[in-house]
Homo-oligomer: A and B are copies of this chain.
């Protein structure tokens, strides 16, 4: 495809046009060209136009590496998630990307797979690239001092979804505590008395918050049945946990799940046992991923708005970069219980299910 020895170029070696060349072509100094590139108001209109014409004519390409060397900003961010294959994170990253894009920022992405070591390597790498800041969904088992370390580096860091270390720190996430309470209240209102909670380690905040919501709800409603199963948070775990629970006596009449993946697994597990989710045992998930409307029955879930969280996190990061010493902020979005058919629906499980995120009515 590419002819060897005679690379096709509009004009000379396209990779080597520098500020100096533009300056010569336009009959001004290097400094002036630099000012034009950065849209400085110092430059006179006529000069600006002249320089811009030269830039076009020579096919100049701005060299961000060189600019970063002397300047203070790279317009670059590092983003760490622990499971990009989870559609929840997909939506969140889309939100981050949209917000950053609007501000002329661009981001590195790493998938830590919940490995603190891998996360650490990436963060060090980001430091070498002189990114302006980090968006971090800390991997499970992250050393809480990591936040202090980043602070010591002078690296702005916004934690997302989970947080480690001591406040004050920048954080964007959902109110998981409240989310679980909403789910519990709903189930209690439907008459459930034996409600279990499925999934999570205690290593990080997002899990602790959920568990606390569970325990507080039990107390508030004076429920004596208490069953909290720890696990990683995949479909497979959901299947295993529900099977374990249904074999017990008494079995729960409802389960609230750490996330939608676990809830999907729980529903699947119930089917394996010949039980009908939503009839024999109510199931509520957390996240409200798009897939929640699928399945039979459609999953009732606590919506945590990943796209909005992503945008919010990006906004926070940009604000911190602009004012490094400003007060730390925590943005905690309110969740919303999205009622569908997996928690004792009035309609038959195989009946019509809505596609739009509009809550179904329940008696």
Contacts and interface: CB of A to CB of B under 8 A. Distances in A.
Interface of A: 1-2, 4, 7-10, 14-15, 61-66, 68-69, 74, 76, 79, 83-87, 89-91, 93-94, 97-98, 101, 106-111, 113, 118, 122, 125, 127-130, 151-154, 168-169, 235-236, 239, 264-265, 267-268, 271-272, 276, 290-291, 293-296, 307, 324-325, 328, 350-353, 355
A109 B107 contact: yes
A108 B107 contact: yes
Nearest to A166: B1
A111 B94 contact: yes
B61 A65 contact: no
B291 A294 contact: yes
13 contacts: A1-B168, A65-B69, A84-B84, A84-B90, A84-B93, A89-B90, A94-B111, A107-B109, A235-B293, A235-B294, A264-B294, A268-B355, A271-B353
A169 B168 CA distance: 51
Contact of A291 (B84, B169, B291): B291
A128 B90 CA distance: 26
Contact of A111 (B66, B76, B97, B108): B97
A125 B111 CA distance: 22
A130 B64 contact: yes
Given A85-B94, A97-B84, A325-B4, A154 B15 contact: yes
Contacts of A15: 154
A10 B154 CA distance: 12
B152 A8 contact: yes
Q: Across chains A and B, which 10 residue pairs bring their CB atoms closest together, nearest first?
A: A296-B296, A109-B109, A65-B68, A85-B90, A97-B111, A90-B90, A87-B87, A85-B91, A65-B65, A62-B128
Given A97-B111, A154-B15, A291-B291, A129 B65 contact: yes
A66 B98 CA distance: 29
A94 B110 CA distance: 9
A75 B118 CA distance: 17
A154 B8 CA distance: 9
Contacts of A130: 63-65
Contacts of A125: 106
A154 to B, nearest CB: 6
A7 B151 CA distance: 9
Contacts of A325: 2, 4
A97 B109 contact: yes
A276 B348 CA distance: 14
